[in-house]
Amino acid sequence: MKTASSRFQIHDDLTAPEGSLPILKGALSTAGQLPNFLGVIAGSPAVLRAYARFRSELRHGALTPATLERISLAVATHYRSAPGVALHTRTARGAGVGVDEIRAARAWASDDPRHHALLAYLKPLVTEHGRAPQHLHEEAREAGWSDEQLLEAIAFSSIEAFTAVVNVAGEVPVDGSIEEARTLRAA
C-alpha cells in the first residue's frame, strides 16, 4: 500500500538543519508530536524562525482562539489544504466552536453576526488578493471589531494562507496519515 508523501522532506529533530532544532525541540516538548507542516518548513531555519515568531505574536493578540480557528478554517478550505482543514477542525472544537459553526466558517460565514461580519470582510482579502469593498470594512467595524482586531485578523489570514500554500504546494500529508498507513500495513 502506498502512503501519502510530501514533495518536501518532513524533518524531525534527527534530520532537521541545526538552525531549526531549538524551535522543533520546543514544539515537540509542547505538543508531543511534530505537525508535518512544521517538519517541512524546518528545512529552512529562517522560514521556521519567521513563522514561529509571527504566529507567537498573533497568539498573544486581541483575538480569541475561537476567532482564530474560524479564520483558519476559512483560509484552509479556500486553498483546499487537507492538513489545515483537519487540524483546524480539531482545534476549533477544542476552542469551543461547534460543528455547525465549523461548517459555516469553512464557507466564510457564521451564525454569530459579529463573526459573520469579520469573515465576510476577510474573504475578498484572501480570495481576491486584498481587494475588499469599503462596505465590508464598515460592516466589520459596526459589528464591533476594532482596528487592532481587524489588523490582527488580516495578519492571521496571511499566515494561514502561507501555511495552506506550503501544504498544497508540498502535497504535505495530513498529520497522522503516514502513521495510520503504517499501522494498516503492519496489521
Which residues have CB under 8 Å from 142's CB, separation 6+? 117
- The reported pLDDT for the residue numbered 1 is 32
Distance of alpha carbon 178 from alpha carbon 153, whole angstroms: 32
- pLDDT interval class at 175 (50, 70, 90): confident
Question: What are the phi and psi torsion angles at 103 (to 5°)?
Answer: -60, -45
Cell numbers describing residue 116: 459573520
Predicted model pTM: 0.88
- pLDDT interval class at 153 (50, 70, 90): very high
- The reported pLDDT for the residue numbered 182 is 38
Burial class (CB in 10 A: 0-12, 13-18, 19+), 65: middle
pLDDT at 162 > cutoff 50 = yes
Domain boundaries, the chain: 65-169
Least confident of 44-58, 91-105, 166-180: 166-180
Which residues have CB under 8 Å from 93's CB, separation 6+? 99, 102
- The reported pLDDT for the residue numbered 34 is 86
What single letter denotes the amino acid at residue 15? Answer: T
- The reported pLDDT for the residue numbered 29 is 80
Torsion region of 69: left, alpha or beta (phi above 0 gives left; psi -120 to 50 gives alpha) = alpha
Distance of alpha carbon 56 from alpha carbon 18, whole angstroms: 21
Higher pLDDT, 123 or 32: 123
Classify residue 9 by its DSSP letter: -
- The reported pLDDT for the residue numbered 123 is 98
Distance of alpha carbon 81 from alpha carbon 74, whole angstroms: 10
Classify residue 17 by its DSSP letter: -
pLDDT at 86 > cutoff 90 = yes
Which residues have CB under 8 Å from 87's CB, separation 6+? 35, 72, 76, 175
- The reported pLDDT for the residue numbered 24 is 92
Q: Is the dihedral of CA 56, 29, 91, 186 positive or negative?
A: positive
- pLDDT interval class at 54 (50, 70, 90): very high
Mean pLDDT of the chain: 90
Least confident of 10-14, 63-67, 107-111, 154-158: 10-14
Superfamily of domain 65-169: AhpD-like (1.20.1290.10)
